[in-house]
Amino acid sequence: MPGPIDYTKLRIIPDFDTREWWEATRQHKYLVRQCNRCGHKWFPPTFPACGKCASMDIGWFETAGKGVLYSYVVVVQPIIGAFVSAVPYVVAIIELDDCREEDGTVTRVAGVLTNDESEVAIGLPCEVLYEATNDPKIVVPRWRICGSAPNTWKFEE
Amino acid sequence: MGALTDKYCIVGVGETPHMRPSNRTTLSMACEAVSKALADAGLKPSDVDGMTSYQAGDSTTSAAVATSLGMRLNYSLDILGGGSSTEALVAHAIGLIEAGYAKTIVCFRSMNGRSGRRMGGQVPGGPIPIANAEGDNQFNMSWGWTTPAQRFGMSAMRYLRDTGCTTDAFGEIAIAHRLHASLNPKAIHRTPITMEDHHRSRWVVKPFRLLDCCQETDVAAAIVITSREQAYDLRQPPVFIMGGYARTMTDNPQWNYSRREIHYVAGNYGWKRAFGMAGISHSDVDFISCYDAFTFTTLIQLEANGFCGRGEAGEFVKGGRLQIDHELPSNLSGGHLSEGYTHGIQMVIENVRQLRHRADDACPRWAEGIHTYDRKAGCRQLRKARICCGMAWGYENMASCLILRGIAA
């Protein structure tokens, strides 16, 4: 297991475009942005317009917080003080199961896994969980492997 | 061919040493680099009436350099940008000169990239004690995913999975660029390495080892661009700008990781423009440069720019193909991996020197274009260096390219 993340060394500062997203994670809901005109979904929510139809009439889609691991890295040398005690830790890109669009577009999100690197492989199913921080207003989503799958791929050193 | 192909030239190049640390201001270093580039061209400061630079909020300005050197500029601009900016500012200079805004333009990058602002976000002494995750950083720093190595590693990992390539392909690039650095007196790492050294190198962020990562340094470098009519009478053999593309983007340029294939990088969208403008094909290229912030960035640009097929770069680089005296020598100064880190401008500088046939190596008469071609004696000049393709990387979603032609032997 990766060590703990020291959130006292990380100040997460929500802004106009992201406040509602952090408010949702505080309530253990995982949101992605959604276009009210064409239905396109995207992440991260820092982008204030729809990348498909350019509409700025946008809202949110509450995902089930489940997906498939698309890629990952294993951070061995820490750069952010908050993560010094966590190394080695795995950051993953996850394709959300309920954010697949008709043209093949799929919304991907990023996050830190709670799993040890030995358990991680591309293609495995993942689910979100929520981690409290010292700041009562901020809850950070994390991800964990939640099953097995055929044809997974693992980095061989 | 492009309407302006071969009409503009790079006529001067210069740089400070790669330092760790410089103990100097970026203004002091920029003045040295600009002065050296002008001297190299045989120009006085008053002969130059345009200046541009790129930076990341970490450097001095064109106005400060011009003031210091007593230059009166008709055009000046400092842009925000890192890798892929030099080639874009060359394209920019061509447009400005063509339109009459200036007649000769110097472009520089000056950075205390090791002792000052480091691109990975490290601070002197180690990890950032207290970090603010604001703006875009809310959605990467909050999960400890900030540095270029960590970001590009995500594309590299998926590339390994999708293609069957192994990290030995990364090793091939580290070995080739280090070999070239061993022939470059300016390079900070000059001891050749082997695949075993690459295997033993410590992990930074898997799939990248230390030897897959560039050498951050304090340095300034500059190049001078003018019309060919001006270039003919200057000090050096002119190097002609044949074509390129400039900070070309993919779709979804700010969030690479939702794109269908995260390793289908920007070069794929640009190379036909560059080769079409230059009026050449890949087989006309004698050597390349390829932005090597990491070994992987070189690897992926080879296929993005059509030097090999999709997913074939790992096979393509095997057997030392990128080494001097092999099929497609790459980064002959040693590049970011072994010479030092300049955000790409050093690649253009080395390419110009090779095309002039005046690589500043151990040959006593290199400045006259006389070389031994004896690698054991420290010669790094290619025998045949007529056309070069320089490929540059900002990140997965942004790339530039500059195809150059020389007329020296």
3-state helix, strand, coil in chain A (%, to 5): 15, 40, 45
Is B291 assigned a catalytic role? Answer: yes
A29 contacts B149 by C-beta, under 8 angstroms: no
Contacts of B171 in chain A (CB under 8 A): none
Cβ of A73 within 8 Å of Cβ of B207? The answer is yes
Q: How far apart are CA B26 and CA B284, in angstroms?
A: 39
Contacts of B144 in chain A (CB under 8 A): 5, 75, 78-80, 82-83, 86, 89, 91, 112
Structural domain span for residue A97: 7-145
Mutate to test the interface with A, among B117, B132, B140, B142 (most CBs of A within 10 A): B142
What distance in Å separates residue A65's CA from the closest CA in chain B? 16
User: Is A61 part of any domain?
Assistant: yes
Looking only at the bridges linking them, the beta strands covering A125-132 and B239-249 are unpaired
Q: How far apart are CA B278 and CA B241, in angstroms?
A: 8
Cβ of A82 within 8 Å of Cβ of B262? The answer is no
User: Is A89 part of any domain?
Assistant: yes
**Mapping DSSP to helix (H, G, I), strand (E, B) and coil, where does residue B148 land?**
helix
User: Is A1 part of any domain?
Assistant: no
Q: What is the pLDDT of residue B387?
A: 98
User: Is A132 part of any domain?
Assistant: yes
Contacts of B118 in chain A (CB under 8 A): none
User: Is A131 part of any domain?
Assistant: yes
Mutate to test the interface with A, among B206, B250, B260 (most CBs of A within 10 A): B206
Our count of domains for chain A comes to 1
**Burial class of B304 by CB neighbour count within 10 A (0 to 12, 13 to 18, 19+):** buried
User: Is A157 part of any domain?
Assistant: no
What distance in Å separates residue A83's CA from the closest CA in chain B? 6
Cβ of A11 within 8 Å of Cβ of B252? The answer is no
A130 contacts A140 by C-beta, under 8 angstroms: yes
Q: What is the pLDDT of residue B409?
A: 61
Please state at what angle helix B345-356 crosses helix B85-99, rounded to 10 degrees.
70
What distance in Å separates residue B153's CA from the closest CA in chain A? 6
Cβ of B157 within 8 Å of Cβ of A13? The answer is no
Cβ of B205 within 8 Å of Cβ of A11? The answer is no
User: Is A150 part of any domain?
Assistant: no
Task: Report residue B37 as tokens.
Answer: 């580039």
| Omega within 30 of 0 (cis) for the link into B207 | yes
Alpha helices, DSSP H, located in B164-209: 168-181, 195-200
Q: What is the pLDDT of residue A1?
A: 84
pLDDT digit string (tens) for chain B, length 409 residues: 899 999 999 999 999 999 999 999 999 999 999 999 999 999 999 999 999 999 999 999 999 999 999 999 999 999 999 999 999 999 999 999 999 999 999 999 999 999 988 877 777 778 888 999 999 999 999 999 999 999 999 999 999 999 999 999 999 999 999 999 999 999 999 999 999 999 999 999 999 999 999 999 999 999 999 999 999 999 999 999 999 999 999 988 778 999 999 999 999 999 999 999 999 999 999 999 999 999 999 999 999 999 999 999 999 999 999 999 999 999 999 999 999 999 999 999 999 999 999 999 999 999 999 999 999 999 999 999 999 999 999 999 999 999 999 998 6
Over residues A71-118, the pLDDT tens digits come to 999 999 999 999 999 999 999 999 999 999 999 999 999 999 999 999
Please state, as a whole number, how many other Cβ atoms lie within 10 Å of the Cβ of residue B201.
17
Task: Inform me whether the pLDDT recorded for A66 exceeds 90.
Answer: yes
Q: What is the pLDDT of residue B345?
A: 98
Judged by a CB distance cut-off of 8 A, whether residue A30 touches chain B is no
Cβ of B207 within 8 Å of Cβ of A47? The answer is no
A34 contacts A21 by C-beta, under 8 angstroms: no
Alpha helices, DSSP H, located in B42-167: 62-69, 85-99, 148-163
Q: What is the pLDDT of residue B253?
A: 79
Q: How many helices (H) and strands (E) does chain A have?
A: 1, 9
Cβ of A91 within 8 Å of Cβ of B204? The answer is no
Contacts of A19 in chain B (CB under 8 A): none
User: Is A154 part of any domain?
Assistant: no
Looking only at the bridges linking them, the beta strands covering B131-134 and B203-206 are unpaired
Q: DSSP class of residue B227? A: E
Q: Average pLDDT of A34-41?
A: 97
**Mapping DSSP to helix (H, G, I), strand (E, B) and coil, where does residue B139 land?**
helix
> Which among B382, B24, B18 is positioned nearest to B187, based on CA atoms?
B18
Looking only at the bridges linking them, the beta strands covering A10-13 and B131-134 are parallel
> Which among A107, A108, A94, A99 is positioned nearest to A146, based on CA atoms?
A94
Q: Classify the complex by whether its ipTM is higher than 0.85, answering yes or no.
A: yes
Task: Report residue B268 as tokens.
Answer: 């794929």
Q: Which of B159, B341, B373, B395 is catalytic?
A: B341
Domains and CATH numbers, chain B: 8-116+215-406 (3.40.47.10)
> Which among A107, A113, A112 is positioned nearest to A146, based on CA atoms?
A113
B261 Cβ contact partners less than 8 Å away, ≥ 6 residues apart: B158, B162
